[in-house]
Structure 1
Amino acid sequence: MEDGIRESLLHSKRKNRSELKEKTWEEVKKMWRIAAPTIITRVSGFGILVVTQAYMGRIGEIELASFAIVQSIIMRFVDGILLGVGSSLPTVCGQAFGAGKYHMMGIYLQQSWIILLTASIFMIPAFIFATPILRFIGEVEELSKQAGKLSIWFLPLFFYQLLAITTQTFLQAQHKIMIVGWASAFSFVFSMIFSWLMVDKLKWGVPGAMGSMNLSFVLILFTQIIYIFGGWCKDSWKGFSKKAFNELWPFLKLSISSGVMLCFEFWNGAVLVLLVGNMKNAKIAVSAFSICLNINAWVYMVSLGFLSAASVRVANELGRGDPKAAKFSIKVNLSISITVGVIFCILALVFGKSISFLFTSSTEVAKEVASLSVLLASIILLNSVQAALSGVAIGCGRQSLAACVNIFCYYAIGFPFGIFLCYVLNLQVRGIWAGMICGTAAQTLLLIYITWRTDWDTQVGKAMARLNSSIFQSSEELSSDDTSHA
């Protein structure tokens, strides 16, 4: 009798383990269907910037430093707004897809365009008046002048970001992101070939490097637009509609809180570069620090793939009304993200010095980069956790709470501590970055606590309320609307 009971228990345990393995494997596949092409897209897109920066380094140190100033201050400023305002789209599109309300995804996409295009009017002057702006905030005159000339070349990239952020999110929410991954990978190869041709062979210098960068991004955007308008998203894209102008306030409110969440996260890098630019030997400091930031940002593109996967999977499951599946998805995503983060952390420690020669031929800059490798490895590991947890917050529509965490950790802990280490203890660049790592660590711990304490049944209720609000309409109501099809 006892043997029979023991055998039954062992069988039950084996069955449970088998079911858990199968369930985990299914979730891993779902996650990688979103994360893998998103990582390819983001790594390739950022790779185009890295290729351009590498060629700017070959042209000259002042060109490399000015490129770093524009990318790290002006572009980070506008990217923070664009990515932030656009980050409300994963919440609403992901939950709509999970609930089977595909027809509303196209309306949300158009609402996002309306809000972002309106916001862009106030951001364009940052590129036009870059020199006086940089001069006003304390950058050295030589860098301010060169950066002002270079900033105009970033305008096409700005408009690419404005449209691509939303179209990629729209495709990602319905698990159709692979086309963007292929287009981005092709454009990355295109950028390497054309940069070599325009800079090394034709000797076109800065116009050649920047022109190649802009052409590469146009190719990615062109592919996305054709894919959406060409009939491959027939369930979610029904054409341009007047409905996009209805009830913009709820969408705008979520966009504003999303904007705050990501703006302060992106802007901290700009503030860091600004502080470094006011140190002694600014050219070396800015060049070395920008190389570290770019390595970190390139690895962060991988983490953003897990952020996107977490936001889509959590939003999908909340839209379906399944809190247990949402929690399980978070555990799987976080485990894989941390594992990948550990691998990149080790690589940063091993190849900290040699990788800098991809960006510069200066041994002085490379030596400075090597001295920052431990800090670089630390931030890479923290970002692997923080990104996944931020994706969970976006999937739930809890951007406002995450915004409060970001502001507190970066601006009440990170910057004050970094300035203290830099100027009081005279640790210079290392002090500033060490302070920001402390801020990121505090942010990660708070996000872990918030996620752990979340009532997922309540989050399902909020998702259902959002899905059943007046902004949602049936397909029959939508089809009777006065629309003009793309």
Structure 2
Amino acid sequence: MAVDTTTPLLDNHPNGHSDQKPVNWVKEFGYESKRLWKLAGPAIFTAICQYSLGALTQTFAGLVGEIELAAVSVENSVIAGLAFGVMLGMGSALETLCGQAFGAGGVRMLGVYMQRSWVILLTTACFLVPIYVWSPPILELIGETTEISEAAGKFALWMLPQLFAYAMNFPIQKFLQSQRKVFVMAWISAVVLVLHAFFSWLLILHLGWGLTGAAVTLNTSWWLIVIGQLLYIFITKSDGAWSGFSWLAFADLWGFVKLSLASAVMLCLEFWYLMILIVITGRLSNPLIPVDAISICMNIQGWDAMIALGFNAAISVRVSNELGAGNAKLAKFAVVVVSITSVSIGVVCMAVVLATRDYFPYLFTTSEAVAEETTKLAILLAITVLLNSLQPVLSGVAVGAGWQSIVAYINIGCYYIVGLPAGILLGFTFDFGAMGIWSGMIGGICLQTLILIVVTSITNWNREAEEAESRVKRWGGSAGEH
């Protein structure tokens, strides 16, 4: 497949979609923006629905009692958060391979790729089981009280089915995303969220099952998402992408493992970076108020991150599809459009945070001291929200193009060699407290974002398209030989 650099941007669209050639840049932007939102809108909605499952369970547990709330919160953010990061990261290898294969017309291989990813993620889940089993001493090690650690550890054991649901879910999602079947995931997630809300109330509060009810509903909800998506794939055959279970799932596993590990390292380093902020703040001399304030900010940042996650998925699909189809120009243009769109939304979100900084803390706390500290930290939250509008998008470009291992090295350098030490230095040595810790870590995000901007700007997209073609041939060819 030769890369045609003279083709007008929106002519000869892959997979049979042809568009009228736009006459100017504004129309080109409009066409690409429409494609982007068709992917990003449902992806954002799906991310919010799935994020809400844990948040709702936490809310209902809080109505039972303080220890129940602490158990669910700690298991959700630390134990399940760790597993979620690893599984999402390893599953993201599929975004590169499925997206580029779909763009190149190699639809038959998508089902095999998904099965290979299942094999790797289910094996990884088995390796993560000990973290769930021995979570009480692990939680005590990072500073949790014995009472909370034991309650969270008991809840973690009950949540083991969720770990294996993650292992099944993320490959399925990447499989469907790469074919732009995002509305299916959105509908299934919405229906499950409604059922989850009702059964959480019924089991946790009405029938008084407490933590047992929380575990039953949360596990069931995640498995309902998996089963719903699988039924759709098995019944529709996903337009030829699914042709049944195959022994090819066990072929070429080592290459898959390497790309999966690179994806996991890249995403986990990002995913855990701001989580570490709360742990480090807990080491301050009077940590209660700053920890509460940062927790409130991280809660808001978590909801905002769902928007960025939607754009991350959308641009990953756009870039991988276009590179797989040999459309280097359109891949590059998609990056420009998504960057402008996401940063514009980031500016609006930043303005909202700054405008409401005297009011939003009271949605989460009745303490004047905590609210005051949260208001102080709001400027850093606003900066983080703006940076996080662009940074995940650039990571999505990296996944779409298959640069995971490069970005993993960039993340280690910027986050853990620059940002984290700078935060510790400002927070503890210079005694700036939570403001200093967060400011240093924002420095790491700034540096990483700047480097990714440079990397994306100097990319030779024609060469990336050629690399995508050879990658599709290499993976598809080896599969076809078995």
The answer (yes or no) to whether the contact 1:393–1:399 under 8 Å persists in 2 is yes
2:403 aligned residue: 398
Q: State the shift of 1:150 in Å.
A: 2.7
- Take 1:142 and 1:369, find their aligned partners in 2: how far apart are those partners? 28
Q: Does 1:183 align with 2:220?
A: no
| CA RMSD, Structure 1 to Structure 2 (Å) | 2.5
The answer (yes or no) to whether the contact 1:57–1:360 under 8 Å persists in 2 is no
Provide Cα deviations, 1:146-202, integer angstroms capped at 9, x if missing partner.
322332243233222221111111000001111110111222233333333444444
Partner letter of residue 227 of structure 1? Y
Q: Does 1:195 align with 2:194?
A: no
The answer (yes or no) to whether the contact 1:47–1:298 under 8 Å persists in 2 is no
Provide Cα deviations, 1:68-100, integer angstroms capped at 9, x if missing partner.
333332223222221221111000000000000
The answer (yes or no) to whether the contact 1:91–1:394 under 8 Å persists in 2 is yes
1:301 aligned residue: 306
Match of 2:111 among 94, 97, 106: 106
Q: Does 1:410 align with 2:415?
A: yes
Provide Cα deviations, 1:196-234, integer angstroms capped at 9, x if missing partner.
344444444333344333333232222111111122414
Partner letter of residue 176 of structure 1? K
SS for the counterpart of 1:122 is: helix
Q: TM-score of the superposition, structure 2-length normalised?
A: 0.89
Partner letter of residue 241 of structure 2? S
The answer (yes or no) to whether the contact 1:139–1:274 under 8 Å persists in 2 is no
Equivalent residue pairs, number: 463
Q: Does 1:23 align with 2:28?
A: yes
Q: State the shift of 1:251 in Å.
A: 1.6
The answer (yes or no) to whether the contact 1:72–1:273 under 8 Å persists in 2 is no
1:9 aligned residue: none
- Take 1:253 and 1:471, find their aligned partners in 2: how far apart are those partners? 17
- Take 2:80 and 2:118, find their aligned partners in 1: how far apart are those partners? 19
The answer (yes or no) to whether the contact 1:68–1:286 under 8 Å persists in 2 is no
Moved more, 297-306 or 273-282: 273-282
- Take 2:376 and 2:61, find their aligned partners in 1: how far apart are those partners? 23
1:236 aligned residue: 241
Match of 1:278 among 264, 268, 283: 283
- Take 1:238 and 1:17, find their aligned partners in 2: how far apart are those partners? 38
Match of 2:323 among 318, 327, 330: 318
The answer (yes or no) to whether the contact 1:191–1:216 under 8 Å persists in 2 is yes
Q: State the shift of 1:380 in Å.
A: 1.1
- Take 1:207 and 1:40, find their aligned partners in 2: how far apart are those partners? 28
2:340 aligned residue: 335
Provide Cα deviations, 1:37-76, integer angstroms capped at 9, x if missing partner.
1111001111222222233344444444443333332223
CA 1:349/1:208 → structure 2, altered by over 3 Å: closer, same or farther?
A: farther
Match of 2:93 among 88, 93, 106: 88
CA 1:270/1:351 → structure 2, altered by over 3 Å: closer, same or farther?
A: same
CA 1:330/1:296 → structure 2, altered by over 3 Å: closer, same or farther?
A: same
Q: Does 1:437 align with 2:421?
A: no
1:222 aligned residue: 227
The answer (yes or no) to whether the contact 1:47–1:188 under 8 Å persists in 2 is yes
CA 1:387/1:322 → structure 2, altered by over 3 Å: closer, same or farther?
A: same
2:297 aligned residue: 292
Percent identity, aligned pairs only?
Answer: 42
Q: TM-score of the superposition, structure 1-length normalised?
A: 0.88
SS for the counterpart of 2:477 is: coil
Q: Structure 1 stretches of 5 or more lacking a match?
A: 1-14, 482-486
SS for the counterpart of 1:240 is: coil
Partner letter of residue 242 of structure 1? W
The answer (yes or no) to whether the contact 1:139–1:278 under 8 Å persists in 2 is no
The answer (yes or no) to whether the contact 1:57–1:359 under 8 Å persists in 2 is no
SS for the counterpart of 2:278 is: helix
Q: Does 1:205 align with 2:210?
A: yes
Q: Does 1:35 align with 2:31?
A: no
CA 1:350/1:127 → structure 2, altered by over 3 Å: closer, same or farther?
A: farther
The answer (yes or no) to whether the contact 1:65–1:283 under 8 Å persists in 2 is no
CA 1:74/1:353 → structure 2, altered by over 3 Å: closer, same or farther?
A: farther
2:428 aligned residue: 423
- Take 1:270 and 1:283, find their aligned partners in 2: how far apart are those partners? 16
The answer (yes or no) to whether the contact 2:339–2:390 under 8 Å persists in 1 is yes
- Take 1:64 and 1:352, find their aligned partners in 2: how far apart are those partners? 26
CA 1:143/1:351 → structure 2, altered by over 3 Å: closer, same or farther?
A: farther
Structural mapping, 1:120-131, within 5 Å: 120-131=125-136
Partner letter of residue 48 of structure 2? V
Moved more, 415-424 or 55-64: 55-64
The answer (yes or no) to whether the contact 1:53–1:359 under 8 Å persists in 2 is no
- Take 1:213 and 1:472, find their aligned partners in 2: how far apart are those partners? 41
SS for the counterpart of 2:333 is: helix
Q: Does 1:258 align with 2:263?
A: yes
Match of 1:349 among 354, 358, 379: 354
- Take 1:96 and 1:392, find their aligned partners in 2: how far apart are those partners? 16
- Take 2:310 and 2:100, find their aligned partners in 1: how far apart are those partners? 18
- Take 1:354 and 1:55, find their aligned partners in 2: how far apart are those partners? 25
- Take 2:365 and 2:201, find their aligned partners in 1: how far apart are those partners? 16
SS for the counterpart of 2:395 is: helix
1:372 aligned residue: 377
SS for the counterpart of 1:426 is: coil
The answer (yes or no) to whether the contact 1:73–1:273 under 8 Å persists in 2 is no
SS for the counterpart of 1:124 is: helix
Moved more, 421-430 or 33-42: 421-430
Match of 2:469 among 459, 464, 468: 464
- Take 1:151 and 1:276, find their aligned partners in 2: how far apart are those partners? 24
Q: State the shift of 1:436 in Å.
A: 1.4
- Take 2:260 and 2:128, find their aligned partners in 1: how far apart are those partners? 17
Q: Does 1:44 align with 2:44?
A: no
CA 1:63/1:423 → structure 2, altered by over 3 Å: closer, same or farther?
A: farther
- Take 2:365 and 2:197, find their aligned partners in 1: how far apart are those partners? 16
- Take 2:281 and 2:439, find their aligned partners in 1: how far apart are those partners? 13
Provide Cα deviations, 1:249-285, integer angstroms capped at 9, x if missing partner.
2222211211111121122234223223334565555
Partner letter of residue 172 of structure 1? Q
